[in-house]
Structures are given as structure tokens and as C-alpha cells.
Amino acid sequence: MLLIRQFVMEWKLYSRDRVALFWTFAFPMLMLLGFGTIFRAGSTPSLTLVVAGDVPGAQELLAALDKTPVKPLPLAAAEAEARWRKGDTAAQLEAGPAGPRLKVNNYLMAQGQMTAQIVQQASLALQVRQDGHEARFLPVALESPGHGHSENYAAFLLPGLLGMNLLSMGLFSVGMVNVSYREKGKFRRLAVTPLPKWIFLAGQVLHRLTVVFLQAGCMLAVGYFAFGIANQGSFLLLALIMALGSACFMSMGFALSGFARTSEGYAAISNAFFFPMMFLSGVYFTLDSAPRWMQQAVVALPLSPFLKILRAVFNDGTGLAGHGLGLVIVLAWTGGCFLLALKKFSWA
Amino acid sequence: MTRTERAIGTSLALRVAGLRKQYPKVLAVDGLDLDVARGEVFGLLGPNGAGKTTTLEMIEGLTPPDGGVIEVLGLDWRHHGAEIRARIGVQLQSTSLFNKITPREALDLYGSYYPKCRGSRELLELVQLTDKADAFHVTLSGGQMQRLALALALVNDPELVFLDEPTTGLDPQARRSLWDVVRRIKAEGRTVILTTHYMDEAETLCDRLAIMDHGKVLTAGTPMGLIQELAIPSVVELAFAGAAPAPEAFAATLGQPVARRGDLWEIPTQDPKAMLPALLEAAEAAHIPYQQIHVRRATLEDVFLHLTGRSLRD
């Protein structure tokens, strides 16, 4: 009875906290909608190629770009130079000593390189045709590792965001909140009442769990209705994995909160865990191009194996087979953090 | 234990004997003894750092003592923690609540933690917060927050109420309104133990008080009794326009101790009538640039000064 009351109160107060509601519910959904739309497969964003002044011999090349995402933008030489200096130009075609040449802005590598490559291909195809042949491009299929999804980057991003949500819930909604309760004397106020402390914590944990599941439900709905992404595996398994992740990151929050006296101290400690996991665990992109030692180090942190398992179920509809080591790593972190939390968590 | 002893034992709301608390670098409480009778308002008066809050925390069961005896309502924390918690009310020096909880919700919530609880409406009326019943905590003024904290301390209809510096940081009007609430709590028949470093507060609220410094009780009694015990019931004050000059040379000339406090010199005396002419003459001769002269009766402040050689607010 007391527990239910405590749980209901947590929800009531939480629902009044608009900032928390925004970051917990609206923000991940906006991320998914935003990135999912930008990187929608098949609709490669259009790329601009500035053509500076009169470039002799470029006429046919520009015509050959017609069916590519690259859109030529002819400008007078002075205008093109001004645009380049402002830093707005990613790639530019200009007259060189031996015919047209490309210039790529090294601050806008991603767009610039992509543009340059497409122009390069068009140029090669043109040369082949001038030699009397027709260039043939190899067909490309977009597909996930488990052959499940082929439509969209959003399908990769969605499980990543679900994992991120668990991480930030554990480290901030649990860890940070409890440090500030202790710092501000809220725990002391509770300690002079007969309320058993476990009821207070259980109410908090129950509340966070329901938030996590509601949040995941919203994300799945956005994924489904905006991008047609659906869970390929069993929902029960998905829920169990989410529950395991919640246990892991909540324990981590409780454990870390035992190491800091003040909110500032906690921010430093938790960020040391949060940022490496956020950037290096494959939430937004895979780390294929990172150095090997870094890839191996990151697997030891729980978020990376957790996301692999989550994606295997959600995107590829497979079971847990083949993810034994990953499961062991996540379980070990969960158990370790839980024990550490029992030892280090304090009320005063 | 004889029958009378038991009767005496249970008529005490609080008995503390030989209480000690050693922190790594400081002996915060050093053999403290206190007896508080049921139904009285008892004050712990002392400067910041005297050990008042540590003492209170040990009595409230928040901090384990390193030695000594604590009996709250005749019960021992080690055996009857739950029962004591249910029968005492505690206002901590700072009460932290959610920003967006309303006074009514806070009272209902904390009330639900106890086997017996008073209605929020009645409590809100008692602390004059009825018109703020549904306002978010974050929008209350300092005085209103303190009154809510006080109401929370009363939510379980406690026999014994602890108030730790209830008026620190409040403006004079808010302090007065809080005093009224404390008087009402006493009128309801509860025992109140409060700490303060305001002597006027101790004098106006407390039936009895103990003056503390360096973790010990220096003296205890009724406010009037303590003042009268002081052999020097009057104080002559010389007021200066700015900060008062160093008084040592003048004290030597006068042959009387002279204390400096802010823009005042204070000269305690048994007989102001006899002392004044000599004082005026000496001040004239020494060209002391004082602006005004007052004679007042001694206060608890003077008792403290007399006992410790320091002012309460130092």
C-alpha cells in the first residue's frame, strides 16, 4: 500500500517536471525522426558542386552529373571565391592547368569527399564512353547484418536510442537524483520518519522502470508509423532484454552515486562513464573504422554488447544464440554494480 | 527501580547523560547532560559550532553517539527505534522537498508514513498556510517553507517536537509568525525542544534552556533565573557613531571590565546609579567620543558573555 502510494507520487511529481518529460520522451523521438529523415535510404541528400567561372571542357561532365545527387552551381569566379572563403562550399570544380580539377574543403570532408567521388565516377564513365564503351555500375543492396531491414538508418538508430535512454536513465534519473537527495537532506528528512527506506527506493525503481517501458513504447510507435520499422523478434525477449538493461544501468547509477558527495562530483564521475559509452558503443554509428584496441576496450563496457543483443532481436529477429559473451559481460556489470551499490550506497 | 523513580523517569520527555560525539578532527559533543520535562519548551542556546545540531541529531536517531545515554519518552533508540520515530516530530535545519509538490500533498504523503496522522487541512490551518495549500513548494517564501516544515514535523501528532534553528534566515515578521506557531504547539500539550542562536527567541519562547558551548552545557535554567543568577543585572552601553574603539585602556582607567560589541561598549554593573557619575567623568577625561549612553537590564546574551567571555554572534 505504502509502495503503491510512493510510486503514484513519483509519477505525479514527475509528470509536473516538463524539462524531464522533454528529455525523456520528446528528445529521443525527435532524434529518431530527425536522423531517420536525413539519412533515409534512397533519398541521399543532394550535394552541391560549385562550378567556378568558366571551366573549359566541363560541359559534358556536368551533363553526365544529371542523374546523380550532385547539383552543379555555376558561379562567377569572384563569387565562387567569396563563397569558398565563407566556408559554405564543400566541393568546387575549377579550371586547372590540364583541364578541370576538383577542390575539396577539408572542414566539410564528409560532403566534399562524397561529392568528389560521384564527380570522379561520372568523369570516368564519360571517359569510358568516349572510348566507345558503356560503363556498367554494380548494383548495391541495403541490408542489415541479419537480412532483416533494408529501408533505413532509423532501423539502426532506434535500438541505439533505446539503449541510450537506459544509460541516461540509470546514470542521471537514478544516480544524479539520489546524490542530490542526499546532498539536500531529503534522505535525512525521510530517515526521521518510520518509512522503511527500501519502500522509498522500490517506489523510485518501479517508477523509472515504467518510464523506461513507456518511453520504449513511444519510440517503437514512432519507428513504426514514421519509418515502417517493426520489431522482427519476440516482444517478450525484447522486454526481457530491456529489463536486463534497466537493471544494469540503474545499478550503475546507484553504485556511482556512492562515490560522490556532491552533485558536481557526481557529474564528473558519471560523465567519465557516460560519454565513452555514448560515442563508442555504436549508438549512432558502428566503430568499424576505429583502432582495434578501442573496439576491444569498448566491448568491455556494457552498452556495446547490450546494443548488439538488442539489435539482433529487434532488427534481425534472431534469438540470443551467439551472444553468450555479450550477455555474460552485461550480466557481470549488472551483478558487479549491484554489489557495489549495496556496499557504497549511503543515506547520509 | 522504585515506584517514584519510575514515575520520575516517565515524566521526562527526554533524558540525556554523558553524551559524546567525536568527529575525526573535533570533539563535537563532550559529556552533555540534559533533562527535559513533558510539556515544556526547552531551548538549546549557543553560538554556531557549539554542537547544538550534532546533539539534536543524536537525540533524533540520525547520528549514533560515541558514548552516553539517550532516553526519548523513556525509550532507548537501540531497542525502540520504530516506536520513537512514530512518537516524535522533527524539523531539520533545512527541509528539502520536491519543487513541484504542494503543501497539501506533502502533508498527506508524510502523514501516510505514520501509523497515526493528522489531517492536512487542520495542519495547514495551524501554520497559516491554508491559502497556499495547493501552491507548488518552489513558489513559497522562506517563512512559508519553514512553517510547512514545522507542519510536517507535526503530521504524526507527536508528543515531542524537535525544531533545529527554526527561524534562522527569516525576516522579523516571519520569525514572529513562527513563534506564534510554536506557542500553539505548546498549548496543544506537546513538548518542544528547539535550538537557536537568537537570545531573544530563547527568552520569549523557552520555559527552560541550556546554554551550550564547545559541546558542553555551561548552565541550564529558566531565562529569568539565568539572568538573575548573573551577579550583574544591569549593563551600561556607550554607543559610538561608527565601530567602537578598543576598550582596554579605558577599562583599566575605570577599573571595570568593558566589552566591545559592534558600535557599543558594554559595561556590566550591579548598581548603575552609583557607577554612572564615575563613568561619565572618566569618559570625559579620556575624551571618549561616544554619542549616546543607555542603561538596560542584562539579557541572556550577557549571561553567555559572562560564561564564555565571547559574544553569541561572534
- Helix (H) / strand (E) containing A197: helix A197-227
B161: nearest CA partner in chain A: A192
Query: How many whole angstroms separate alpha carbon B179 and alpha carbon A187?
Result: 27
Q: Provide the pLDDT for residue B121.
A: 94
Spatial separation of the C-alpha atoms in residues A233 and A320, rounded to whole Å:
10
Of B96, B98, B114, the CB nearest to A185: B96
pLDDT given at position A147: 64
Classified as helix, coil or strand, A133 is coil
**Chain B hits for A13, Cβ within 8 Å:** 98, 100-101
The alpha carbon dihedral of A147, A152, A154, A160 has a sign of positive
- List of chain A residues whose C-beta atoms are within 8 Å of the C-beta of residue B88: 192
The confidence score (pLDDT) of residue A151 equals 61
ipTM of the complex: 0.80
Per-residue pLDDT of chain A (348 residues; tens, 9 = 90+): 889 999 999 999 999 988 888 988 999 999 999 888 877 755 566 788 999 988 888 888 888 888 888 899 999 999 999 999 998 899 999 988 888 899 999 988 888 898 999 999 999 988 898 888 888 888 877 676 666 555 678 888 999 999 999 999 999 999 999 999 998 888 889 889 998 888 999 999 999 999 999 999 999 999 999 988 889 889 999 999 999 999 999 999 999 999 988 999 999 999 999 988 888 888 887 776 777 887 777 888 899 999 999 998 998 888 888 889 999 999 999 999 999 998 888 777
Q: Give the CATH number of domain B3-227.
A: 3.40.50.300
Cβ contact B35:B12 at 8 Å: yes
Closest CA to A79 of A51, A121, A59: A51
User: What are the tens digits of pLDDT across the range B253-283?
Assistant: 888 888 888 888 988 888 888 888 888 888 8
Domain residue limits, chain B: 3-227, 231-297
- Asked if A290 and A299 touch (Cβ cutoff 8 Å), the reply is no
* Sequential DSSP letters for B130-168: GGGTTS-GGGS-HHHHHHHHHHHHTTT--SEEEEESTTT
Under 8 Å between Cβ of A260 and A269: yes
List the grid coordinates of B188.
496543544
Residue B80 has a CB neighbour count (10 Å cut-off) of 16
Contact across the interface for B105 and A16, Cβ inside 8 Å = no
What's the whole-number average pLDDT of chain B? 88
- DSSP sequence for A4-45: HHHHHHHHHHHHT-HHHHIIIIIHHHHHHHHHHHHTBTT-PP
CA–CA min distance A347, chain B (Å):
10
What local confidence, expressed as pLDDT, does residue B6 receive? Answer: 43
pLDDT of residue B306: 79
Q: pLDDT category, B312, cuts 50, 70, 90?
A: low
Q: Could you give the CA distance from residue B124 to residue A204 in angstroms, rounded to a whole number?
A: 28
Residues 99-118, chain A: which have Cβ within 8 Å of B? none
CA nearest to B63 within chain A: A348
A296 close to B (CB below 8 A)? no
Q: Closest Cα to residue B137, out of B170, B101, B176, B90?
A: B101
CA angle centred on A209, ends A206 and A210, rounded to 5°:
90
Cell of B194: 528547539
Nearest to B96 among A5, A189, A194 (CB): A189
Q: How many residues does chain A have?
A: 348
Q: Which pLDDT belongs to residue B4?
A: 42
**Which tens digit of pLDDT belongs to each residue from B130-168?**
999 999 999 999 889 999 999 999 999 999 999 999 988
Q: Is residue B300 within 8 Å of B223, Cβ to Cβ?
A: yes
The runs of H, that is alpha helices, within chain A are 2-15, 18-21, 27-38, 59-64, 77-86, 109-130, 153-168, 177-184, 186-191, 197-227, 235-257, 263-280, 292-299, 303-314, 324-344
β-strand pairing of B208-213 with B41-45 = parallel
Instruction: Give me the mean pLDDT over the B201-225 stretch.
Output: 91
Residues 6+ positions from B186 with CB-CB distance below 8 Å: B39, B40, B41, B192
Q: What is the mean pLDDT of residues B197-201?
A: 86
Query: Cβ neighbours of residue B116 under 8 Å, at least 6 residues apart?
Result: B86, B156, B157
Cα separation, A156 vs A301, whole angstroms = 20
Please check whether residue A188 touches B, CB under 8 A: yes
| Cα–Cα dist A174/A246, whole Å | 11
- 3-class DSSP assignment, residue A241: helix
Whether B3-227 shares its CATH topology with B231-297 is answered: no
Instruction: Taking the CA atoms of A256, A262, A263 and A267 in sequence, report the sign of the dihedral they define.
Output: negative
Nearest CA-CA distance, residue A193 and chain B, Å = 6
More confident residue, B307 or A338: A338
Rg (alpha carbons) of chain A, rounded to whole number? 26
Read off the pLDDT of residues B5-16 as tens digits, 9 standing for 90 and up: 444 445 799 999
Is A195 an interface residue toward B (CB < 8 Å)? yes
CA–CA gap between residue A322 and residue A319 (Å, rounded): 8
pLDDT (0 to 100) of residue B5: 44
| Cα–Cα distance measured from residue B137 to residue B125, given in angstroms and rounded to the nearest whole number | 17
A81-123 pLDDT tens trace: 999 999 889 999 998 888 889 999 998 888 889 899 999 999 9
Q: Which of residues 37-76 of A touch B (CB under 8 A)?
A: none
Contacts of B152 in chain A (CB under 8 A): 189
The partner residues of A50 in beta bridges, in order of sequence, read A73, A92
- CATH of region A47-130: 3.40.50
For an interface test with A, give the residue of B100, B105, B114, B146 to mutate (most A CBs within 10 A): B100
Tell me which residue in A9, A17, A188 faces B62 most closely, judged by beta carbons: A188
Q: Is B96 within 8 Å of A348 when comparing Cβ atoms?
A: no
User: May I ask the CATH architecture of the domain B231-297?
Assistant: 2-Layer Sandwich (3.30)
pLDDT score, position A83: 92
Which of A4, A189, A347 is most worth mutating to test chain B (most B CB atoms within 10 A of its CB)? Answer: A189
Measured between CB atoms, which of A9, A13, A191 is closest to B62? A191
Mean pLDDT, chain A, rounded, equals 88
Q: Can you tell me the distance from the alpha carbon of B107 to that of B118, in angstroms, rounded to the nearest whole number? A: 9
Residue B231: which of B275, B270, B276 has the closest Cα?
B270
Q: What's phi and psi for A130, nearest 5 deg?
A: -65, -25
Mean pLDDT of B166-176: 88
Residue-level pLDDT at B43: 95
- Cell digits for B150? 514545522
Asked if A184's CB is within 8 angstroms of B113's CB, the reply is no
Nearest to A16 among B88, B100, B109 (CB): B100
Chain B interface, Cβ < 8 Å to A: 60-62, 82, 85-86, 88, 90, 92, 94-98, 100-101, 105, 109-110, 112-115, 136, 152, 156
Q: How confident is the model at residue B229 (pLDDT cuts 50, 70, 90)?
A: confident
Q: Please tell me the distance from the alpha carbon of residue B290 to that of residue B287, in angstroms, as a whole number.
A: 9
Question: In chain A, which residues have their Cβ closer than 8 Å to the Cβ of B112?
Answer: 2, 5
pLDDT at B308 over 80: no
Would you call A192 and B62 a contact, using CB atoms and an 8 Å cutoff?
A: yes
Q: Do A193 and B110 touch (CB under 8 A)?
A: yes
Q: Do B62 and A186 touch (CB under 8 A)?
A: no
- The least confident of A189-193, A300-304, B31-35, B232-236 is B232-236
Q: Do A348 and B105 touch (CB under 8 A)?
A: no
Find the closest chain A residue to B149 by CA distance: A189
Residue at grid coordinates 531491414:
A149
Out of A184, A193, A348, closest to residue B96 by CB: A184
**What single-letter amino acid sits at A160?**
G
Q: With CB atoms and an 8 Å threshold, state whether B95 touches A189.
A: yes
Give the per-residue pLDDT at B8. Answer: 47
Distance CA A190, CA B123 (A): 19
Q: Verify whether the Cβ–Cβ distance A193 to B85 is below 8 Å.
A: yes
* Contact at CB, A193 and B113, closer than 8 angstroms: yes
Is residue B91 within 8 A of residue B192, CB to CB? The reply is no
Per-residue pLDDT, averaged over B115-134, amounts to 92
The grid coordinates listed for A144 are: 542489415
Closest CA to B162 of B60, B73, B67, B259: B60
Distance CA B168, CA B172 (A): 10
Distance (Å, whole) CA A230 – CA A241: 17
- Chain A residues whose CB is inside 8 A of the B86 CB are 194
Look up residue A256 and give its three cell numbers: 556511482
Q: Give the start-to-end residue ranges of the domains of chain A.
A: 2-39+149-344, 47-130
DSSP one-letter string for B184-244: HHHHTT-EEEEEES-HHHHHHH-SEEEEEETTEEEEEE-HHHHHHHSS--EEEEEE-SSSP
